[in-house]
Structure 1
Amino acid sequence: MNYGYENNQYTTSYGAAGGADGGGFVAGEPQSSPAQGRGGYGKDTVRPMTIKQILDAQQPHPDADFKSDGEAFSQVTFVGQIRSISTQPTNITYKIDDGTGLIEAKQWIDVNSADSESSKMDLDNSNKPKLVEDGYCRVWGRLKAFNNKRHVGAHIIRPITDYNEIHYHLLEATAVHLFFSRGPPSNLNGNAQANGHGNAHHGAGGAGLAQSATADAQLSHISPLGRRILATLKNTPQSNEGLHVQMIASHMGVSTNDVYKGAEELVAAGVIFTTVDDHTWAVLDG
Structure 2
Amino acid sequence: MKDSTASRQKKKDTLRSITIIQAKRAQVTDDTMHIIDQEETNNVALIGVVHSITKNAMHTTFVIDDGTGLIAVRKVFTVFTEDNIRPGIYVQVYGRLRSFNRQNIQVVADEVSVIQDFNQVTYHLLDCIHTHLSKKRVGPGVIFF
d(CA) in 2 for partners of 1:65, 1:106? 17
Paired AA for residue 82 in structure 2: D
Paired AA for residue 91 in structure 2: C
Root-mean-square deviation (Å)? 2.2
Matched positions, count: 138
d(CA) in 1 for partners of 2:35, 2:88? 30
Percent identical among aligned pairs is 32
Match for 1:151 among 82, 106, 118? Answer: 106
Task: Give the structure with the larger helix fraction.
Answer: 1
1:80–1:72: structure 2 CA closer, same or farther, 3 Å change rule?
same
d(CA) in 2 for partners of 1:64, 1:175? 25
1:80–1:175: structure 2 CA closer, same or farther, 3 Å change rule?
same
Q: Deviations over 1:33-90 (max 9, x none)?
A: xxxxxx4652011110000001101114x35721111011111001000000111100
1:63–1:141: structure 2 CA closer, same or farther, 3 Å change rule?
closer
Larger Rg: 1
Does residue 1:122 correspond to 2:82, yes or no? yes
Does residue 1:101 correspond to 2:69, yes or no? yes
Q: Deviations over 1:197-231 (max 9, x none)?
A: xxxxxxxxxxxxxx8xxxxxxxxxxxxxxxxxxxx
d(CA) in 2 for partners of 1:83, 1:180? 31
Match for 2:33 among 59, 65, 69? Answer: 65
d(CA) in 1 for partners of 2:74, 2:45? 14
Q: What are the within-5 Å matches in structure 2 for residues 45-84 of structure 1?
A: 45-60=14-29, 62=30, 65-84=33-52
8 Å contact from structure 2 (residues 31, 100) kept in 1: no
TM-score (norm 2): 0.86
TM-score (norm 1): 0.45
Instruction: Give unmatched runs, 5+ long, in structure 1.
Output: 1-38, 110-115, 124-129, 190-210, 212-284
d(CA) in 1 for partners of 2:32, 2:70? 23
Structure 1 stretches of 4+ with a deviation exceeding 4 A read none
Partner residue, 1:127: none
